[in-house]
Chain A
Amino acid sequence: MRETEAYLNRATRGLWGQKRRDARTELRGAIEDKVYRHRLLGLSEAEASRAALRDLGSPHAIARDLSRIHTLPQAARAALLVGIATLVGVRAVAQVPTVSATSSTPITACKLDDAVLQRLIPSERERLRAELAKPGGRERLEAECRRQSQGPNDLLKLKDLLAALRVGGVDVQVLEGTDAFLSLRFPNQTERQPLNINDLVREIGGETYVPVGNLLGQLRYVLKAPVRLTGLMNPTLEIGPTRMQLGTKDQPVYSTNLYSFIVWNEISRELQFAAPDPSEMRNMVYFSDSGRPSSLAPSLSFPVSGTEGTIYAVVYGRTSQDGKAPSFALRAAVGGQVSFPLSWSGDQQPPVPRVVKTLPEFFQARSKEQPVALLYRVDTSDLRNLKLTPVPPVQGRLITQP
């Protein structure tokens, strides 16, 4: 309180009488407004006051400007230019703009009832029963199940994307009559580059979204600037000199899922070329990354030599869903290991797939219905050129407890 009054005195020095009283009242109202907002965010009275006064800035600068206005003769006022450069806050300061995300798959109801439990192997069933018996256990596991089955946040809010590009200095033009037929001009460049994602947009809850996989796929071909993602969770997308964070704490985005679209194309092309029956490869399934290992299914872990965060891809010979199509997953290496989800059904311990070196070996094992896998290291330094390097066969380890 005393700090505020001291501030108000300094900020209105140079004025006198009613003018000074009015100016003090007005600024006091502005400060109270800010304190009110800060307190709503949880700050204490003292913290909120300090923050509010900090927001207002130098009281001397305010006093200088106010006294100039109220004491200068009419003619001189016309020539007065307030020093805007230091006083106007521009959005793109230190923070990287954020693009919100959401999921294209609706949340499914998850009921962990006896029918579900019966499908598990006995040891898993007992472990889950024990968890369910704990207080709050059912809620926890069902929430986990919902989270796992929701599907990754694979849609980006178009509005945020365009704003982030603009903050990064990109001149973004949207073709009139469309939502997302874009024309981009990057800073320090004269030519414009088209990016038509208009056919990809969809409306959810009144907001327009674009699928991030398709977007990145297009960016690869269209842009002359390098395109890169850094970080695993809520990665920063770098397109030339612009940067933006994809995803938020509430709706996180994982870079592994973002690469899947491009990697799917690369892998399925390779497989189709070498497969005895190419049509089966087209239904290849991707195991999305939810950011945490599932407590409902086992995982397969491999020792790898890549540095922390290096992305690896596993391609399984068969999925359990239809028993025919292959599946793949992308995960980041942590502590010299990379862990992938393993899908299985039935009441036996899932067998550990054998990693092979070549595609012919892969298809041979597949045709004999033997569990088999291919392992790749993914070079993600430039999305325009994602390279898959085969990893020599290594023994995988089954992990049933996360």
Chain B
Amino acid sequence: MDAQQLKGHLDLLLLATLEQGPRYGGQIIADVQASTDGYFTLREGTLYPALHRIEKAGWIRGEFQQLPRGGSPVKVYALTPGGREELRRQRERYERFSAAVRGVIGGQA
């Protein structure tokens, strides 16, 4: 994988991760790493601006919560109804994209 592949798909990954339930930044990084077997390791510098961006777009909403271990509160994000709709749209677009690529390169994607 190179970084070019991730460009344009970051929002999709984040929305799909939050579909599993509300998460704060550190959890999102861990979830994406786990579900891709370490293939994607998001850096905080990428993640937080992206989360703020899609929060501004209205697809997710964040609120501060206290963790059991104490310390500073963490901002936990959840999908909004608009976000679910956007996730569906982006999934569809991705399926069409990868089917198109498959059509050219052949083999199983």
Contact = CB atoms under 8 A, between A and B. Distances in A.
Interface of A: 22-23, 25-30, 32-34, 36, 55-58, 61-62, 65-66, 68-70, 77, 80-82, 84-85, 87-91, 163, 173
26 contacts: A23-B52, A25-B64, A25-B72, A25-B73, A27-B44, A29-B25, A30-B74, A32-B72, A57-B43, A58-B45, A69-B52, A69-B53, A70-B52, A70-B56, A84-B3, A84-B10, A85-B3, A87-B43, A88-B41, A88-B43, A89-B41, A89-B42, A90-B41, A163-B37, A173-B107, A173-B108
Given A29-B74, A82-B10, A87 B25 contact: no
A163 B1 CA distance: 13
Contact of B6 (A23, A34, A84, A163): A84
Nearest to B7: A84
User: DSSP majority for the A interface?
Assistant: helix
B46 interface: yes
Nearest to A174: B108
Contact of B45 (A62, A91, A173): A62
B53 A36 contact: no
B41 A57 contact: no
Nearest to A162: B37
B44 A29 contact: no
Given A88-B6, A90-B2, A90-B41, 13 more contacts: A22-B75, A28-B72, A30-B25, A33-B26, A34-B26, A36-B71, A69-B52, A82-B49, A84-B10, A84-B46, A85-B3, A90-B39, A91-B41
A87 B44 CA distance: 8
B44 A57 contact: yes
B38 interface: yes
A82 B50 contact: yes
A61 B108 CA distance: 38
Interface string B66-78: 0101011111000
Nearest to B66: A29
B35 interface: no
Contacts of B45: 56-58, 61-62, 65, 87
Candidate in B1, B10, B53, B73 with the most chain A CB atoms within 10 angstroms:
B53
